[in-house]
Structure 1
């Protein structure tokens, strides 16, 4: 496992990324830049298919921006690195599944980091908030994302008041997939990651690109782009060995062997 504020662990096709910056796993500019490089390397490595992102320790997933570093001179609008703040929010072309294993307090930019994942698992003691309103600033990425993920009125209440949600309420509103006992959170995340890693990576890439690009399209425009193979991932899939393998394996009554090509 690598050292520093960002620790990584490879297990077959799965990459684990742990934000481990005591005491609270807050993100300063240097850490954000390392995270961006880490997630970009994950994106570009053909052997890696799934990523788990979590926090070090048992209390904090991530509280977001390091206010002490800001007070010491880090610029709020400084160079966060490739992928923007936390390395995931604006990372282009990330067409692989990302699981957030939220192991504790998840607020501000930390909640925005979790929202950048595709699946969110939470420890039973995890809590969630957007407290930026109390600091006189805006939770920019969350303001864009959250009203599209959960009921509008709940999202606006969180943004306007900064109130805290327990894991159970977060799951009820739909931005947490499942809650697990803290002791088994990573075991469950690894189990899910292993399941996803055994799936068809080219199809996952299609799903992520279509979902991302279709957000600002009409249904018919999106369908036209798919059927005309105007998405790069769709065009690649339909000419791939994996596409043929899926049909062949079904006809032969066996499990497919996905190669990602």
Structure 2
């Protein structure tokens, strides 16, 4: 990965680990998904980093930032993203994938002066919880909702693995990752950490469960324009490569009047960043805004 390095940014409670690609040019700050880490951008960042500075944190509770203390939640991640921007510049194009979109939106609403524009990659519009879930769900109900939404990616957080090969095997069996590539291998290898003598995924279960609460419209949410220009890239297929995407066509425009919405054909929720086709479309949106 060309001119890639890891660094840290001081945030409340300790140091946030960030991946950095590129040495100059406009600043891009990117936030990953709910159980992910900064190498979710492993195909996007090297290309953008040729003429930008692309900075992607391991969000609090994930990757090498897993030991940063809670509380979690989108407002907390927005504070951390603001610290990353201030450490590397004055204003940034802010990119989110999946949960990272909700964090990016929280940042734009709280501190719009830090955000030039948003690139929302298959995330951001409030998700509808399953029928019967109350407006103030219990921890068990949140667990059920997130399990139904992201399935295997959530279940792995309670698992341990004998070696990295076994962890790669788990990911390679995921229906969304049938066309395996080197970026996916690096993603899987980085995600596994030694925790007291056992290998487990880096994302802390309590972080994922708390953050999931902020993604759903537990009560009706009226449409509200975003405070900065934004583009929403919609994966054609879903979390498990099912034909229905995570978001229906037009969902972003209904939630955020005025947002530009584009479909990315031939991608699912994972391959919209972790495949050459999806990454190329994200790179175009980051560079040009369209």
TM-score bracket, shorter-length normalisation: 0.3 to 0.5
Select the structure with the greater relative contact order (CA < 8 A; seq sep ≥ 6).
2
Normalised by the length of structure 2, the TM-score is: 0.30
TM-score between both structures, scaled by the size of structure 1: 0.32
Task: Identify the structure with the greater helix proportion.
Answer: 1
Work out which of the two has the higher radius of gyration on C-alpha atoms and give 1 or 2: 1
